[in-house]
Chains A and B, each alone.
Chain A
């Protein structure tokens, strides 16, 4: 079969915060990128974030996610990047070519360098009734209310008291849904207390040490059975929507197809492509950034994207290594700050461990051992 084929100096897969920042940085350095995204809007998951961001000016602190998304997209376009939306990358072959579905047929891209910024996908877990309509990812409910202005149901129960669960529960209230409660298996709230406090003020109860037993209903969710793990007592919540905020997993399929070495890092969401501090994988010309390189926050994704864009431009010979190094140091220092504090510390240590695994042939053997054992060896 003869498919149309295009050559590009740099292709970025994913127009979320990581991909857009990578593209902007590379474009600024003289390596014009083509950015592909399967969605109909650039900005990735930022487009549904309506809370104000923490962090520093470089991370858009004080702004809402969807405002940052608009800025990043226009920054990319002004910088000379081309963004093609509605384009789904189906394959990343061992010869480095990408197979792309542009909606009206597939074609091939031959990139000089490729930055993968494919993000993460919400996790689920099995329980009786978990496939009933009305059970959905917390992020899916957030997409519906904040981006599309549509309610997923009338009354919801949230599973998971991490930041996603707490923030989305509050945003469901803002959109006009009832929230029956937030349940959490652990003994403590995983997210920032400021988010938990807001829910308490709205009268939404938080049930620690509680777990889902079953989602019940004929054709859709009508109620959810929950167990108090301390006493064994059962509670039935009359809700039509059950939102799961139980973590995210890096979308590593394309990296795996290309043959990039994958490492299992529980603190960062599971299997992800090995990379060094400059976001280079074990395959020359293939870079990663954002949640694909470890599930963290949008601010981290932006800075990792910038690192990947700089590394790609320098390795392609269009950016002076000294200039690249100076800018990378500045970004690296910011990342250290972002990963400070009790929430960031485990991620900082995990990233440190990951990056210090050598990327050489010997490193590859290490990687195989790591893969067989199923998790990254603690040092």
Chain B
């Protein structure tokens, strides 16, 4: 979910609406926002599964905890909290069965 009509910030400036793909599924995102934020906006909080199959999601949002890591086609494993959204980027949930 996105914040609407914030009492202090109003309507935050957002980038152009683009489409990204998560495990092949199209999602709406805003250009330039961190991938992790775009996923939260779509209600997706699982970034990857551990070797033993436990789900993990973003914990720190500033590039330290590495829990938000996902596979970005053409780039390999990335920290989604620091990776800006680009039109058409294809992400995969490592350990999610489709990776």
Contacts and interface: CB of A to CB of B under 8 A. Distances in A.
A117 B5 CA distance: 35
Interface in B27-73: 33-34, 37-38, 40-41, 45-47, 54-64, 67
A124 B59 CA distance: 10
Contacts of A227: none
Contacts of B45: 133-134, 152-153, 220
Contact of A149 (B14, B67, B84): B14
A40 B82 contact: yes
Interface string A38-49: 111000010000
A133 B62 contact: no
A39 B34 CA distance: 11
B75 to A, nearest CB: 11
B20 to A, nearest CB: 14
Contacts of A122: 60
Given A133-B46, A176-B3, A150 B55 contact: no
A146 interface: yes
A121 B64 CA distance: 8
A118 to B, nearest CB: 10
Contacts of A370: none
B6 interface: yes
Contact of A140 (B2, B7, B62): B62
Given A39-B63, A151-B2, A134 B12 contact: no
Contacts of B55: 132-133, 219-220
A182 interface: no
A144 B54 contact: no
Interface in A150-165: 150-154
B60 A174 contact: no
A40 B2 contact: no
Interface residues of A, number: 36
Contacts of A121: 60, 62, 64
A145 B34 CA distance: 13
A213 interface: no
Nearest to A38: B63
A122 B46 CA distance: 20
B98 interface: no
A307 B40 CA distance: 40
Contacts of A175: 3, 6
Interface in A128-142: 131-137, 139-140
A322 B91 CA distance: 57
A114 interface: no
B67 to A, nearest CB: 8
A63 to B, nearest CB: 12
Contacts of B9: 50, 146, 149
Contacts of B46: 133, 219-220
A242 to B, nearest CB: 11
A39 B1 contact: no
A145 B61 contact: no
Interface in A216-273: 219-220, 251
Contacts of B3: 145, 149-151, 175-176
Contacts of B34: 148
A139 B59 CA distance: 9
Given A50-B8, A149-B14, A220-B55, 7 more contacts: A39-B63, A40-B84, A139-B60, A140-B60, A143-B61, A149-B9, A151-B1
The 4 closest A-B pairs by CB, nearest first: A133-B57, A148-B37, A140-B61, A149-B12
22 contacts: A38-B82, A45-B62, A50-B9, A88-B63, A121-B60, A133-B56, A134-B45, A136-B59, A136-B60, A139-B60, A140-B59, A140-B62, A148-B37, A149-B12, A150-B37, A150-B41, A151-B1, A151-B40, A219-B55, A220-B45, A220-B55, A220-B57
